[in-house]
Structure 1
């Protein structure tokens, strides 16, 4: 039986953990670095940064009350946008917390050094980090209690600092307020926004919170208000009482502020507050960051070892040890400023993604999604969070951008190498795309079935090398379609001669194949359909077929499918050229034994254009032949419930609109292709979609459609609607990512 985490964090622990993750580097380290970017407007930068976090905070409150699971914002992003984006978000958020925790410990050593003259700041930070790792290994309850005590003492000291120093502020220190312009202000916002990271990180331990419906949103909002208040007033004081040049170049801005006013004893108090705040931040960072490998492992995105929960302490010790080890590495090798910038870059990206996830859940129309807290001003609030987040990212320095891109690349590669074949599910955003495609499919199908073309021509295009058996098969398939439509059926044989041979001489020397005409007439009489027979001589058969279809106003073209081979892909297929240029719907018929038309099987793929045409053709054939239709959709064994419901919905709709009996089947198996083939072998005719082959992807990888068609013995109709637009080079890849079966 899998182990879970115990719920033992109350409201006070939620506030303490959230504030402990926020109040730290943001107030004791970053004011100096941000002052160097923006000048006196650094005060406004902290305020705006707090405002920009509000959409993410509200989104976390709503999502957290709906899904109180370990992993927090990663879980929401992964569930909303799928495991691909979830992998990147999980790793990125995990590293954000590690960088922020490392920044807090490294910065704390600057303050500790003021009192004790430390021989090695980095070594001391490593020792303290190791102690915090041990505390987290013991248990979450002890961590929450420790966090509460540290935060209470820290807030009291910071409030006293504001009260004692605010009267010393000199107004002239703020002139000029925008010393470094709007660009400097924006850069400072991008730098300090990581100070508010704790406001969303508390959701990563939502699974351990008592009464999360109340304690999560309430604790989160209380901590955000208090922290924003402290940040703005403390930075206001720092700018007003510390010389601008000193503030811009110091790593201990709080100590530099109080020493001239109150002497060395005040520095001791500030050092105590700084150590409590920064160690609290690091402690919360280890606590919350360690839950991300746990959540990733539960979802199959990391090896299962990270899911292990200690039977006594009930903590994910493997995940904590990994998290602590990486934090120790960051402390040992990176300078404080670069740690801060990279943490901010990762955090802003996650803020934007969590707002996108909220939209995905709201628009997902899920019966189970019933949060106790709803984000106000939806959808404008999350949209503001997305737009503002990505704008701030563009204003960052090159190095943190490179770091963020590196995480995205690594996460993407990890997903495709390790995760993709192990996880068969999709996010709600993908499901929404599927549902929209399904709705479009239903609309197109209804239109196609109720306004089937009548009075147009159905063309059977034959080459001279087509066998009599293939002629017979094409005519037996096309005849019921023409009868159902009340259309004329034309059977045209195209004869190709070399370019050097004049067409007029070729026509004169080949007056026509009487045997072909007689044979076709006999079969047409048997099938009770009027047929017109013709022959066309040309230098280029594919061009002649398209030209003939244009001149005659052909609505549907049937012709033999080209054999599947990579050599034909390399040098070009006639069928692909016809697909690109034909003015009508096209059906390529692959050779196979045709005994009857009792069962017509359609493999549906939610193509809004090809699927309706396949339905119309199958209904035409089955209606005249007295057969039935079977719809099959190939899905993985782990396909989402939303996807299954979408497929079932349009299968049911087809049952109502077709004039013959319809059966819908969803094939769920890890070996989807083999399972689909097993279901198709009982059919008399199989209908699939087809699109234009592309040189590079199709030369390297055979299409699933081709793999299915070549392994079946019965006739296979490869259908392409004239409404389908031309596929781009990347479309097969995008289609595979968005519409995975």
Structure 2
């Protein structure tokens, strides 16, 4: 049994990942340092840097649609130019990402120090001023580095949703700053625009190149992007354009409202903080001084961006020694995956240790320039790799996106990259040469004898470099009119729970003449590329396959088994159900809690996004089913679905169906007659014997739970939870499911609209 990989990153996620990796040091740290080199023309430096990145971005977009594999630029260079250049690219990218993470960590701490040094700090927090002391900037950076190393070691989940929210918050704060400040620019500040000449502009360009390093980060997760032919190139270009415009506007505003000496002085590492303090430090709104709060908002955005970049730097950087090790190009110990946390322990520890060393010993401008040098070196190799693939005219190389202007765009990328490196300081030039020489020497003496492959540039395509995604057997799963139930199995589901779900689905499928698809969804930490667990079959995987095959032999319905690896199980379940045309998702659900409601449940997300009906099961199934109870609630969609499922199960199992509805003790006869007529209409939908009961009680949960004691399976309606209303008033179905011990099927029709804010309140008023 093979494991498929799940593509669950859409266009917005691609843009969010790319922009989230770019918006950081570029605007919050570097403008002041760059202005010291270029003067007011620093604006052009940011624009030129964006232009220099375009050839590599377009090349990676094309290569990513041809080879949607984890690893990104390293994979493309290794396959195109050969393992020797792949070694250089892997080491160079690893160093660049570590330097970028170090820059964010070290530079971000200057903002904390800046806020603490403001005169308004004592006014804003007088009780803390006398007791709180801020450690040194480097010490703060090292402290945060240790925290992020620990987070990545234990595989704490990072989600695209959180990343998207952070990007939106940053854009809102920066957008408000631009809109409110651009009208205050002083044209005199732009005089002597080219005072530092072309050398100053190119030097500043080399410095700020690292601002755009994140644009190609998303290529490292190319195999996790849905519809990569559209979303990868479009996401890369949109994120680059949007970020370049934001950078240009922000630098234009900074130069226009702040005197050059203020930006390049002792606070040159906190240009956004300095600008906000100068412009809004004395601002008053409605008699209230807002200067401190304006600075606090900018500092919050800076820390949000820089801390996110630093954490993502450790996460992403650690993948490169792991990839090199798996390709026999680096020490095998870097391939070690921790058995408990499923994270690359050695790779993360080594990456973190180097970042701590950089933070402790290097200056901000040195870190930025060295990161830019390694970045442009990798971009040169990427452009060369694309040329190698194109010129070989390989049959399997069939990208969904083709770079416009080939080969001139790539040749420009190579030439401009070499030119910019030549404009850098001696340290950066030497560093670039050293990494190239070291990469070749390391490959020659360590890796050459361990591998027997070459890049396409030498005429030998590695096995099937254009490995395509397994599309979950989409071709054979085209809708053929049969009823299909998808049973998603999480890693924490026991054998008994899995068997109960399959046995519950079997009679429904038997009646409808369909099939069951049992899929185990393995969720791995973001720190680990999906292809690592996909290539390995653990004892648990083999046990899952064996026990499922054993159970299937006793069922008279077709059952197919598979496994999917993803970083986000809920997205993977919904995407799989949509691609395979599932009619029903039948999954296990743990008892709900108020805390779960507050932070959001995966089950709610699945109900809201699934393209089909969804049923969640609580409690273990009893042996033998004689009675299936349906608690009706006059839902126009859920009740018919419950009846349909119960009738199918009862027909195959020889069971009976019972309808129950709770009314108050003093409910009028007109209401009970209405319910009886309603149950009669539902009875017409059944082919098995049906009983009907109206439960008079002032406590619906207590009264119904007593009536349900004789039932073997209970069916209830469920709906998506709203955080605030359901936190205050719990859904009756949740309370009833928690009060009984019988296997409970919580049914949600795809036609059911999301519950409104008033739904839980109205439910309690009407039925209790």
Same fold (TM over 0.5): yes
Whether the 8 Å CA contact 1:5–1:315 is kept in 2: the answer is no
Shift of 1:10: 4.0
Residues 12 and 318 (structure 1), Cα distance of their counterparts in 2 relative to 1, 3 Å cut: farther
C-alpha displacement at 1:206, in angstroms? 2.1
Structure 2 counterpart of 1:242: 258
Residue 230 of structure 1, CA deviation? 0.7
Do 2:142 and 2:356's aligned partners in 1 also have CA atoms closer than 8 Å? Answer: yes
Q: Residues of 2 paired with 1:322 and 1:212: CA distance? A: 32
Distance 1:54 1:371, change over 3 A: same
- Tell whether 2:154 aligns with 1:122: no
CA contact (8 A) 1:364 1:432 kept: no
Aligned to 1:50: 50
Does 2:262 correspond to 1:262? no
Instruction: Give matches, 1:670-689, under 5 Å.
Output: none
Are residues 1:155 and 2:171 paired? yes
* Residue of 239, 250, 258 corresponding to 1:223: 239
Q: 1:46 to 1:256 in 2, by over 3 A?
A: same
> Separation in 2 of the partners of 1:218 and 1:418?
39
Partners of 1:141 and 1:128 lie apart in 2 by: 18
Do the aligned partners of residues 4 and 104 (structure 1) sit closer, same or farther apart at CA in structure 2, a change above 3 Å counting? farther
Aligned partner (choices 176, 180, 192) of residue 176 of structure 1: 192
What pairs up with 1:420-431 in 2 under 5 angstroms? 420-431=448-459
Aligned mate of 2:222, from 206, 212, 223: 206
Q: Which has the larger radius of gyration?
A: 1
CA distance in 1, matches of 2:155, 2:5: 10
Say if 1:345 and 1:404, in contact at 8 Å, map to a contact too.
yes
TM superposition shift of 1:87: 0.6
Post-superposition CA distance 1:490-539 (Å, at most 9, x none) = xxxxxxxxxxxxxxxxxxxxxxxxxxxxxxxxxxxxxxxxxxxxxxxxxx
Cα distance between partner residues in 1 of 2:34 and 2:317: 25
Tell me the alpha carbon deviations over residues 248-294 of structure 1, each in whole angstroms, 9 at most, x when there is no partner: 23111111111122123211111101101111221222222122112
Aligned to 1:300: 328
Alignment check: 8 A CA contact 1:205 1:288 kept: no
What CA distance in whole angstroms lies between the structure 2 residues aligned with 1:167 and 1:285?
36
TM-fit CA distance, 1:137 = 3.7
Match of 1:34 in 2: 34
Whole-angstrom CA distance in 2 between matches of 1:359 and 1:226 = 28
Match runs of 1:401-480 below 5 Å: 401-431=429-459
Give matches, 1:99-114, under 5 Å.
99-114=99-114
Q: Distance in 1 between matches of 2:340 and 2:409?
A: 43
Secondary structure (helix, strand or coil) at the match of 2:96 reads helix
Residues 151, 280 of structure 1: 8 Å contact kept = no
- Cα 1:119/1:139, change in 2 over 3 Å: closer
Q: Structure 1: which 5+ runs fail to align?
A: 434-741
Residues 143, 414 of structure 1: CA spacing in aligned structure 2 closer, same or farther, 3 A cutoff? farther
Give the secondary-structure state (helix, strand or coil) at the position aligned to 1:62: helix
3-state SS, counterpart of residue 142 of structure 1: coil
Alignment of 1:304-703 (within 5 A): 304-310=332-338, 314-431=342-459
Partner of 2:542: none
Aligned counterparts of 1:426 and 1:2: Cα–Cα separation in 2: 27
What residue is the counterpart of 2:271 in the other structure?
253
Counterpart-to-counterpart distance in 2, 1:7 and 1:286: 23
Tell me, what secondary structure is at the counterpart of 2:398?
A: coil
Q: Distance in 1 between matches of 2:417 and 2:100?
A: 18
**Equivalent pair of 1:45/1:188 in contact (CA under 8 Å):** yes
1:313 and 1:41 map into 2 onto residues whose CA distance is 49
Distance 2:4 2:320 in 1: 14
Query: Partners of 1:393 and 1:5 in 2: how far apart?
Result: 39
Residue 369 (structure 1) shift? 1.0
User: Does the aligned pair in 2 maintain the 1:309–1:317 contact within 8 Å?
Assistant: yes
Residue number in structure 2 paired with 1:274: 302
Alpha-carbon deviations, 1:603-661, whole Å to 9, x = none? xxxxxxxxxxxxxxxxxxxxxxxxxxxxxxxxxxxxxxxxxxxxxxxxxxxxxxxxxxx
The root-mean-square deviation of aligned C-alpha atoms, in Å, is 2.2
The superposition leaves residues 12-55 of structure 1 with CA deviations (integer Å, 9 ceiling, x where unpaired) of: 33322211221111001110111011111110110111111111
Q: Equivalents in 2 of 1:311, 1:328: separation in Å?
A: 26
More displaced stretch, 281-290 vs 173-182? 281-290
Native 8 Å contact 2:373 2:432 kept in 1 = yes
- Once residues 175 and 196 of structure 2 are traced to their aligned partners in structure 1, the CA distance between those partners, rounded to angstroms, is 30
Provide the aligned length of Structure 1 versus Structure 2.
Answer: 433
Distance, in Å, in 2 between the alignment partners of 1:406 and 1:124 is 31
Q: 1:24 corresponds to which residue?
A: 24
Q: Given the superposition, is the C-alpha separation of residues 247 and 156 from structure 1 closer, same or farther in structure 2, using an over 3 Å criterion?
A: same
Output the CA distance in 2 between the equivalents of 1:5 and 1:106: 36
1:133-148 alignment runs, 5 A limit? 133-139=149-155, 142-148=158-164
The alpha-carbon deviation at position 310 of structure 1 amounts to: 5.0
SS at the partner of 1:70?
coil
Deviation at 1:407, TM superposition (A): 1.6
Q: How far apart are 1:149 and its partner, in Å? A: 2.4
Answer yes or no: is the 8 Å Cα contact 1:255–1:271 preserved in 2.
Answer: yes
- Answering whether residue 101 of structure 2 is matched by residue 73 of structure 1, we say no
Cα distance change on mapping 1:127 and 1:10 into 2, 3 Å: farther
Structure 1 residues 129-138 or 393-402, which shifts more?
Answer: 129-138
Task: State the shift of 1:147 in Å.
Answer: 2.2
SS of equivalent to 1:197: helix
Give the conservation status (yes or no) of the 8 Å contact 1:364–1:429: yes
In structure 2, the CA distance between the partners of 1:155 and 1:331, relative to structure 1 (3 Å rule), is same
2:155 and 2:222 map into 1 onto residues whose CA distance is: 15
Paired with 2:70 and 2:394, the residues of 1 have a C-alpha distance of 21
How far 1:348 moved relative to its partner? 1.0
Q: Which range moved further: 165-174 or 143-152?
A: 143-152
Deviation at 1:298?
Answer: 2.2
- Counterpart of 1:191 in structure 2 is 207
Question: How far 1:304 sits from its partner (Å)?
Answer: 3.1
Cα displacement (A) at 1:325: 2.2
Q: Distance in 1 between matches of 2:4 and 2:150?
A: 20
Other structure's SS at 2:450 match: coil
Q: How does 1:78-97 map to 2 (within 5 A)?
A: 78-97=78-97
Matched, 1:165 2:181: yes
